[in-house]
Structure 1
């Protein structure tokens, strides 16, 4: 057992001794509590303990610290020395007359270490003051369930599930803004951005002003921002929000295809979350009566709008649409039984936001030094990627189909077997956007596989890339040659390329959420790009290294 040196003892004995009883304890805490006590906490362990020293006579906290649960008893003494010499708050250095603890091992340990300081160490079965402090910490630091106004709670949840069924993220991206004109409850217009087309997060952001929406997008488009800066931009939004959280359960099997969990889960597996963001208030999950009423009528109007105009909103360009609805007033107002609400699209705002995004990306790409541009944002999240062969009958049909976009870059092959293709199967709206993006990028110039390596894990990958006509490369899949299945897939692709002298195709199809998933029919195919397979050397691509981006989350 370590003991205090003579020099340390001499220093501590100079601290004034007061007729006070201090309490001490060490308890395991959750990550939420650990983060709330010490924002820079990095205990290096999966569990943390909190050490607390309080002056039981004065009822004040002298020291509060977080340590790994697997650390020894020494941190308890270090915390005690801090409590004596550098106490928290406006307290003076002091040495207690007695210490009480509720753990026999801690009692015996402290007696041995502190025996030369003339401080009694006693055992008591309970420490009510510390119990109360830990309970307060636990309640104040763990995330709270969203609190909805009682009179609107069930209606809000019902409207949220209606929105989930409408699934506007299948037809709208976050830059295609809608305006909901309310002119009630101190809100003139809500500007709605739909989240979910990327397959990462689903919901609605309903900004209280168009200025706030534009400011936030400008902030996030600035490159090289720290996690703190991104967090600050998030908190400066001025909006109401509806977010859909996936409910995980121990009996719920995980979908092996990234992004498809969201698309295949029934509404019972989705938890709607409501809240508010304000630059001066930050994040709030408790809604007041007027906010609840606002969300009820806004969601009802939006649901009606999406049902009526779904087909018109599916394909580009983003149309100019407007509709007016009379929504039952959920608030107690005998003189106003209904509320007139106008919902309309804002194509001009959408074009402005798209231009800002394109310009920001171009600026960031321009910072490179001639290195080929590699992007991973073309192929939609949740897409199913297959390397397969299409029969000659299918190839001929697709070449001449009036409803399929066709790109001919090679001479038709008179081969005895089908053409090798990269099949990208997604939803119909996402397929249409992908086709439009590829058209604007000059079509597909080549398909290649390039070596990639994760320097941290040591894993090697074969990266499936599409080269568009503008010279940029777009990631469509990652394969691990060390995995038997991936190795077999890559081997077949190489054999097919040898048989067809590099001729291949890229097929864009829908139906990923239906019965044709993994086996699309002719009716599911929207585009057929004939192209060639090239080596990475021929395209000037060096081996790539995986780089990790820092994730961030809100301080709790």
Structure 2
């Protein structure tokens, strides 16, 4: 049997021993309304109560499989660090209703001069656990029980349909229901950026526009963003990883159905955020998901088009657990190209064709290789790490590189796993990477000067990977180190493509996150010979 260290026993014996009788017990915490996804209950609760004073001195909730040591750990805290208003102390007597716990405590506490007794009933703890049970049984479930399974099935159907593969957040679909005091819902699909996955069902067009405007105006103010978030008026479905303990090393969108959980809820300016749906809300979301699933099934190919098409389709949805008179509802799902164009204009995503055609920007420079939300850094890979990297990732060598200096200078691009794969495939389709260059750029609209990071592929196409203000002290220092390292390697450098943008490794990818290494030559602006590039709006620094 495990016992206290002698120093621990001496420390506990220094506590004042009070003439009190403490009750202790360990019991399961469960509820008759436990959610279907949590059939195992809620663990065990350990309680230590001062029966003489009628106060709880210590309480813990532990996993059911946790050993008897947990009872002692809670008891130690009850003695040394009790809940207020109790003071640190040692009891004269302890009473438990479990013989095994009694014998275990007698062995562990034998040096502390505490009597350990048995009683078949513990009145104070019995009353506390009755209160706990009432609280648990009175909790409102996240979803109405009669609709929970149907809603989860519709959510999983959305996950399998993956509308975020072809619909951007500003490409809005209207869902006309005309029931339960809901006229239209305006659906915005999240997930194309590989960060959050789900669907927001706005109750009004104004709420959608106001939130978009607030985000664009206050995107650098976290407090204002939170305020704007809570002012939305919408129902929502989001997806989360169902194993919180599993290392988050990739895009949630890569996970199979078995590893994600849907979460439903409501946001309203006067109510805030709640992850609970009531009966009518559950039916509204059910109808919205079912009609949206059918619309995606019927028009998937058209929704993949470069331009957002004008589409509309009417469906009759059968409701779960409804009587004959009200068991169906007629729903119309439509795309909203005009609203989408308005939202794109608000975000500055629209491009004036005449401006694009008349732009002085170098005609072969493209910005469609590296995803916009990627993490970018200029750095170095040690020669030792480089050898491991070459063996463990997709590797495209360029020649014999002299190992001079602290390592190979590299540009690191971190994005989501599927987008990283696409970047790698596109580079390989272009013959691989030929060179990396920093070239001056200018914005004729605000007068700013930029240092543009460019990738040149073997077919001589140029791709923009980064825009940096040329007077940014952090970038200036990073460029100084880059130039020196490239000088050491006789002009050799590399590009690393990594995954894990939304995981714990965001901004600091480890070796396991790195997917490809393209070695290349470093070119100066003079070598490239294209002069100062003029920026158009979509390439402006954000």
TM value normalised by structure 1: 0.50
Work out the CA distance in 2 between the residues paired with 1:284 and 1:104.
Answer: 46
Which residue of 1 is the match for residue 23 of structure 2?
23
User: Which residue, out of 79, 85, 88, partners 1:87?
Assistant: 85
The residue matched to 1:495 in structure 2 has which SS?
A: coil
Report the Cα offset of residue 185 of structure 1: 0.4
Which residue of 2 is the match for residue 451 of structure 1?
379
Give the 5 Å matches for 1:521-532: none
Report the Cα offset of residue 207 of structure 1: 2.5
> Could you say if the C-alpha distance between residues 550 and 194 of structure 1 is closer, same or farther in structure 2, counting changes exceeding 3 Å?
closer
1:182 and 1:189 in contact (8 A); partners too: yes
2:102 and 2:116 in contact (8 A); partners too: no
> Could you say if the C-alpha distance between residues 439 and 277 of structure 1 is closer, same or farther in structure 2, counting changes exceeding 3 Å?
closer
Which residue of 2 is the match for residue 176 of structure 1?
171
User: Which residue, out of 210, 235, 243, partners 1:240?
Assistant: 235
Which residue of 1 is the match for residue 116 of structure 2?
122
Deviation per CA, 1:345-401, whole angstroms, max 9, x where unpaired?
Answer: 334543454455569xxxxxxxxxxxxxxxxxxxxxxxxxxxxxxxxxxxxxxxxxx
Work out the CA distance in 2 between the residues paired with 1:439 and 1:261.
Answer: 19
Q: Is residue 2:283 matched to residue 1:299? A: no
1:325 and 1:342 in contact (8 A); partners too: yes
The residue matched to 1:318 in structure 2 has which SS?
A: coil
1:408 and 1:530 in contact (8 A); partners too: no
Work out the CA distance in 2 between the residues paired with 1:298 and 1:291.
Answer: 10
Work out the CA distance in 2 between the residues paired with 1:93 and 1:160.
Answer: 51
User: Which residue, out of 534, 544, 547, partners 2:436?
Assistant: 534
The residue matched to 1:205 in structure 2 has which SS?
A: strand
> Could you say if the C-alpha distance between residues 153 and 3 of structure 1 is closer, same or farther in structure 2, counting changes exceeding 3 Å?
closer
Give the 5 Å matches for 1:264-279: 265=256, 272-278=262-268
Work out the CA distance in 1 between the residues paired with 2:309 and 2:240.
Answer: 30
Report the Cα offset of residue 287 of structure 1: 3.6
The residue matched to 1:483 in structure 2 has which SS?
A: helix
2:175 and 2:334 in contact (8 A); partners too: yes
The residue matched to 2:23 in structure 1 has which SS?
A: strand
User: Which residue, out of 325, 341, 360, partners 2:331?
Assistant: 341
Report the Cα offset of residue 237 of structure 1: 4.8
The residue matched to 2:391 in structure 1 has which SS?
A: helix
Report the Cα offset of residue 172 of structure 1: 0.3
Task: Indicate the RMSD between aligned Cα atoms, in angstroms.
Answer: 6.2
Work out the CA distance in 1 between the residues paired with 2:12 and 2:249.
Answer: 57
> Could you say if the C-alpha distance between residues 548 and 175 of structure 1 is closer, same or farther in structure 2, counting changes exceeding 3 Å?
closer
Work out the CA distance in 1 between the residues paired with 2:390 and 2:432.
Answer: 29
Q: Is residue 2:10 matched to residue 1:2? A: yes
Deviation per CA, 1:444-463, whole angstroms, max 9, x where unpaired?
Answer: xxxx995347xxxxxx699x
Where structure 1 has 5 or more consecutive residues not aligned to the other structure, the ranges are: 30-47, 360-406, 411-434, 442-447, 454-459, 463-478, 499-511, 552-556
User: Which residue, out of 258, 261, 277, partners 2:254?
Assistant: 261
The residue matched to 2:307 in structure 1 has which SS?
A: coil
> Could you say if the C-alpha distance between residues 27 and 332 of structure 1 is closer, same or farther in structure 2, counting changes exceeding 3 Å?
closer
2:370 and 2:423 in contact (8 A); partners too: no
Deviation per CA, 1:454-489, whole angstroms, max 9, x where unpaired?
Answer: xxxxxx699xxxxxxxxxxxxxxxx965334257x5
User: Which residue, out of 298, 301, 304, partners 1:314?
Assistant: 304
Deviation per CA, 1:306-333, whole angstroms, max 9, x where unpaired?
Answer: 2343333223333444444444466746
> Could you say if the C-alpha distance between residues 307 and 63 of structure 1 is closer, same or farther in structure 2, counting changes exceeding 3 Å?
closer
> Could you say if the C-alpha distance between residues 95 and 484 of structure 1 is closer, same or farther in structure 2, counting changes exceeding 3 Å?
closer
Work out the CA distance in 2 between the residues paired with 1:256 and 1:353.
Answer: 33
User: Which residue, out of 482, 499, 507, partners 2:388?
Assistant: 482
> Could you say if the C-alpha distance between residues 177 and 132 of structure 1 is closer, same or farther in structure 2, counting changes exceeding 3 Å?
farther
Report the Cα offset of residue 166 of structure 1: 3.5
TM value normalised by structure 2: 0.51
> Could you say if the C-alpha distance between residues 257 and 206 of structure 1 is closer, same or farther in structure 2, counting changes exceeding 3 Å?
closer
Which residue of 1 is the match for residue 530 of structure 2?
none
Report the Cα offset of residue 292 of structure 1: 3.0
2:175 and 2:332 in contact (8 A); partners too: yes
Work out the CA distance in 2 between the residues paired with 1:26 and 1:333.
Answer: 46
Report the Cα offset of residue 54 of structure 1: 1.2
Work out the CA distance in 1 between the residues paired with 2:437 and 2:312.
Answer: 51
Report the Cα offset of residue 27 of structure 1: 10
> Could you say if the C-alpha distance between residues 309 and 75 of structure 1 is closer, same or farther in structure 2, counting changes exceeding 3 Å?
closer
Which residue of 1 is the match for residue 511 of structure 2?
none
1:450 and 1:541 in contact (8 A); partners too: no
Work out the CA distance in 2 between the residues paired with 1:461 and 1:229.
Answer: 45
The residue matched to 1:183 in structure 2 has which SS?
A: strand
Work out the CA distance in 2 between the residues paired with 1:127 and 1:536.
Answer: 78
Give the 5 Å matches for 1:462-473: none
> Could you say if the C-alpha distance between residues 235 and 132 of structure 1 is closer, same or farther in structure 2, counting changes exceeding 3 Å?
farther
Question: What is the total number of aligned residue pairs between the two structures?
Answer: 388
Give the 5 Å matches for 1:90-169: 98-101=93-96, 102-104=101-103, 106-107=105-106, 112-113=111-112, 121-124=115-118, 136=132, 147-150=143-146, 152-153=147-148, 155-169=150-164
Give the 5 Å matches for 1:329-478: 332=322, 338-354=328-344, 409=364, 437=368, 450-452=378-380
> Could you say if the C-alpha distance between residues 93 and 233 of structure 1 is closer, same or farther in structure 2, counting changes exceeding 3 Å?
farther
> Could you say if the C-alpha distance between residues 330 and 95 of structure 1 is closer, same or farther in structure 2, counting changes exceeding 3 Å?
closer
User: Which residue, out of 41, 54, 75, partners 2:49?
Assistant: 54
